[in-house]
Structure 1
């Protein structure tokens, strides 16, 4: 299927991801469980069970899996246009997605349907897991909110979730430290070149920070998250509409009045 694991397209906490084909033409991504992975068979089975039940336009679908003794692999549909991370960074000749598009993607992702669940088996990449899990060994709806908040911080900052070369290695620590300076320009993805509404940026950032609160009861619900993100989009669209209708001189005067004071 992978031609002896010829093309590696990514790597996560589970292991390497290779390009492959099935039925001679359908492209797939094959995620192989590495021997050094912190995940084991229980986590592998939990991910299979989850992906068989969850279907969403912003999530790759599970095509199949391999479960042969020590050989474990998950087979996903292939995303030829790249993943979100590649579109945030503009790698491979891709355009960097703008702020309004990022808010739209976040809103669509927040609309994932499904029943509230409580699980005792975890699966996923390190850094996205609810810290309360380590005390309770249980995951619930607010655990999903935490993981979503981590993704939202990635979309806002274009920073990796874990970076050992960074003084504050985890993204929540890095954002928390940067927030104390009160300058949102140092937090927002520099690839955006300042092209965003400051009010919507602050609102999205504050929302993400509330989602990753260490105490789950202090986090918003996903319904509240959706409302806040839609308000951010309204604010950003208003700025874009005003910019397109105004002359350069008027735009400069308007923008200077809407930049919030440092918090």
Structure 2
């Protein structure tokens, strides 16, 4: 947060401008750059988002449950750094006093909802973990949380069936044209399946997810570069995204470094000072 404005009955928070829009736009290749988001950039954004959620779950007292984690609530700034956005449904959860949080209505977006939360109306930090697992599957496959063809199907069910048969080629986003470390992609897919386990007890914590994603980043960084002939390669797309990362914008660097949590984008209004 950069600051706030209070002008009689008008109030507003001022956050960093997230110039590159949502992660969902980039996964769908409808973002500002238009090209396919390279695997290395997908991994980077996954790790940054996971670090933001880990902060909410472990760095805040009491812990905070976001309750609406999805690819459209992960925003990218001009340097393509990912930050969690939209805290309108966030709730506090007091582990120390064993206080359970019950809700009267489901807050999650279809396709991202934790089945255990849906059954008990009791969200936990593991509810955020489930939703984040769906985001990881979107990054691996390039597909939305709910597939519509031939009939509406959860990406979790769709990917789980294929990965159980060892069919990674039928799951990974073909637009990346093999420009990735296959072991790293498998590892991210496995993390996603663990995050989307039916029971919350079987899911990892966000701290565990951060550690495992860091290992995936190391695998990708250690990969020898691959080359493709003809068409637009993943490396070409990576250069297009890399140029966006070098864009200089004015932001509160100290705040970003200290908290490591993304921000909420708001429309500027006439009351901004």
TM-based fold match above 0.5: yes
Does the C-alpha gap of structure 1 residues 218 and 192 become closer, same or farther in structure 2, counting only changes over 3 Å? same
Distance 1:77 1:131 in 2: 34
Query: Which structure exhibits the higher relative contact order, with contacts defined as CA atoms closer than 8 Å and separated by 6 or more residues?
Result: 2
Indicate yes or no: 2:233 matched with 1:237.
no
Aligned to 2:29: 90
Contact 2:133–2:192, Cα closer than 8 Å, also in 1: yes
TM-fit CA distance, 1:142: 0.8
Q: 175, 182, 185: which one pairs with 2:169? A: 185
Indicate yes or no: 2:73 matched with 1:133.
no
TM-fit CA distance, 1:125: 1.5
Q: 203, 210, 213: which one pairs with 1:219? A: 203
Indicate yes or no: 2:154 matched with 1:170.
yes
Cα offsets for 1:43-79 (capped at 9, x unmatched): xxxxxxxxxxxx7xxxxx9999xxxxxxxxxxx9875
Distance 1:147 1:89 in 2: 18
Tell me the TM-score normalised to structure 2 length. 0.57
Contact 2:141–2:171, Cα closer than 8 Å, also in 1: yes
Contact 2:28–2:143, Cα closer than 8 Å, also in 1: no
Aligned to 1:202: 186
Aligned to 1:150: 134
Rg larger for: 1
Distance 1:88 1:216 in 2: 27
Aligned to 1:102: 42
TM-fit CA distance, 1:214: 0.3
Give every structure 1 segment of 4 or more consecutive aligned residues whose post-TM-superposition deviation is greater than 6 Å. Answer: 61-64
Unaligned residue ranges in structure 2 (runs of 5+): 7-14, 64-92, 94-99, 228-273
Report the secondary structure of 1:165's partner residue: coil
Contact 1:185–1:194, Cα closer than 8 Å, also in 2: no
Distance 1:62 1:224 in 2: 34
